[in-house]
Amino acid sequence: MPSLGFSARVARTTWRVVPKRALSSVIGWAAGRHIPATLRPLILERFARTYGIDTAQAEKGLADYARVDDFFTRRLRPGARTIDSAINSVVSPADGTVVESGLVANGQLLQVKGVLFDLEELLGDSESANRLDGGAFLTTYLSPTDYHRVHAPVGGKILGWTHIPGLLFPVGATSVAREPGLFVRNERFVTFIDQGDAGLCAVVMVATVGVGNVTAAYDPEVETHGRSFLRAAVRRRRYDKPIAIGKGDEIGTFHMGSTTVVVFAPGRVELEGLSPGQSTQMGQSIGRLSPASSGHE
């Protein structure tokens, strides 16, 4: 772990003792309050200006969003994003900023220079971690500015999901740099996709302070801040009949901001040269599928 300056150590200590889940509950409660129709354009325009949100890309007009959460989790207007149509392309699952990318090595992923974290801990599933060890990964940070729905980077069938309750540390660049193991300490929701010949893919939605909830587009049962989810240490569901999903189809929604980590089967995906700090948009090509080879599952 790189050495930290005094202000970073103070911030780290402060965030370790702050009641992050209580704070997130308050933020989620406020974001879920109904806004009188006459006040919506004023309040939401100010919210958009504060966070640099392009309201022209929203599916609806500001007056049509009854709550801040409705606007924050807005869908985009048709045509605002294009899903790369090349048959072998892999696409970005979300708008955001690249944190790190590379290959999983000995079950470890790079969080930031000098800091690693464990794939099995991230996924909450040892079998899947073994299948993905050695594969390509991409970590993307979603700021409040960004579109907050997460989409499938590849087509295939959803095998199931795992929810791992945890902490709610901030996940911005400064927090990632100062808090070791951040992505395996925070709450996570993992979707497992079988890509057929291209092997397994895991799409991990990492929660953060202020996230009121994570919901899944493919399963109405999923509401990660519902009581049944918060009670369980780890909750899993595997489908008897896997659910078909196309490249670019919606997987889930962050109700406020966070991070995605996508991990692919070894030898099956080659990512483009993605540098930390680079912006991505949902649907743009981030790599390509490699021909299936024996010995990789």
> How many beta carbons lie within 10 A of that of residue 99, not counting itself?
24
pLDDT of amino acid 249: 97
296 is catalytic: no
CB-based burial, 203-218: b 16+ in 10 Å, e otherwise: bbbbbbbbbbbbbbbb
Catalytic residue among 69, 70, 95, 125: 95
147 with 153: CB under 8 angstroms? no
Domain boundaries along the sequence of the chain: 6-72, 89-289
Contact 27, 144 (CB under 8 A): no
Looking up tokens 């680079």, which residue turns up? Answer: 278
Q: What is the pLDDT of residue 18?
A: 45
The pLDDT value recorded for residue 297 is 44
What is the CA 217 to chain-centroid distance, rounded?
14
Q: Is 163 a catalytic residue?
A: no
**Active-site option among 128, 133, 151, 163:** 151
Spatial CB neighbours of 172, under 8 Å, sequence gap ≥ 6: 141, 143
- 3-state secondary structure string, 95-157? CEEEEEEEECECCEEEEECCEEEEHHHHHCCHHHHHHHCCCEEEEEEECCCCCCEEECCCCEE
Concerning whether 225 is annotated as a catalytic residue, the answer is: no
The pTM score is 0.85
Q: Which of 24, 89, 175, 258 is catalytic?
A: 258
- Give, for all 297 residues of the chain, the pLDDT tens digit: 555 554 544 344 443 444 345 544 555 555 667 999 999 999 999 999 998 999 999 999 999 999 888 998 999 999 999 999 999 999 999 999 999 999 999 999 987 666 888 999 999 999 999 999 999 999 999 988 999 999 999 999 999 999 998 776 555 565 655 565 677 878 889 999 999 888 999 999 988 755 557 899 999 999 887 777 766 688 999 999 999 999 999 999 988 668 899 999 999 999 998 999 999 999 999 999 986 533 344
Task: Quote the pLDDT of residue 92.
Answer: 97
Task: Give ∠ CA 253-25-146 in degrees, rounded to 5.
Answer: 35
